[in-house]
Chains A and B, each alone.
Chain A
């Protein structure tokens, strides 16, 4: 990164008070996206982070009893690797 080359200083300085338009637009878009994500999370109730897997990995999905999983997955992992049923 070299010295300012666009440059606010070289081109006579940025004497305008207040934020440039691109900053205002970017901030508005960022706030809108954050609000949209928060709203989505509240409405849909999306689980986020490790908790999503913390719950599912503890579930005995495919037990030795031989009950087929709800997903219809057709494979289990044996000691030697994956094998098809």
Chain B
């Protein structure tokens, strides 16, 4: 990848990844408000707004972070499976996106419950979004730490590729 293109791709990746982390933090705050607020309008509003916000912001940012991360890895010498930290980061991001895709149905069901005038607040409140958002915050922070510190360690595949590269240079 050319340096200019690499920087553009890196910028998109950082914006998507950090934006995703920030969006998850907002979801954690919303989920906490939904669990603790005594105002019925606020509680219903929280669970109603989660579904469109997840569909329009959270999921696109997650997919963008995953896709741009893969492009970054494959477009540079880091590779996708050569370094443990890159592989771990890919696994964290892919798992988080998969869980989010599966959770979209939960957002829809929670929004339907919140829109149902016959449903009491006890039936609408759900600790699940807070638990998931907290876990996601931990996972995405770990991915960010990996990206910044880049701990050493080549995978078996990475060592083999390194030996091949050295042999080709000789």
Contact = CB atoms under 8 A, between A and B. Distances in A.
Nearest to A75: B40
A59 B113 CA distance: 10
B48 to A, nearest CB: 11
Interface of A: 1-6, 8-9, 11, 13-15, 17, 19-20, 22-23, 26, 48-50, 52-54, 56-57, 59-63, 69-71, 73, 75-78, 81-82
Interface of B is mostly: helix
Q: Which of A6, A15, A81 has the most CB of B within 10 A?
A: A6
B144 interface: no
B78 A4 contact: yes
Contact of B77 (A3, A70, A82): A3
A13 to B, nearest CB: 6
B154 interface: yes
Interface of B: 6, 10, 13, 40-41, 44, 72-73, 76-78, 83-84, 88, 102-103, 105-106, 108-110, 112-113, 116-123, 126, 128, 147, 150-154, 158-159, 162
B78 A3 contact: yes
5 contacts: A3-B78, A8-B158, A14-B152, A20-B153, A57-B112
Contacts of B153: 8, 14, 19-20, 22-23
A26 B119 contact: no
A2 B76 CA distance: 7
A23 B27 CA distance: 30
B84 A23 contact: yes
**Ordered nearest first, which 6 A-B pairs have the shortest CB separation?**
A71-B122, A77-B117, A20-B153, A57-B113, A69-B120, A75-B40
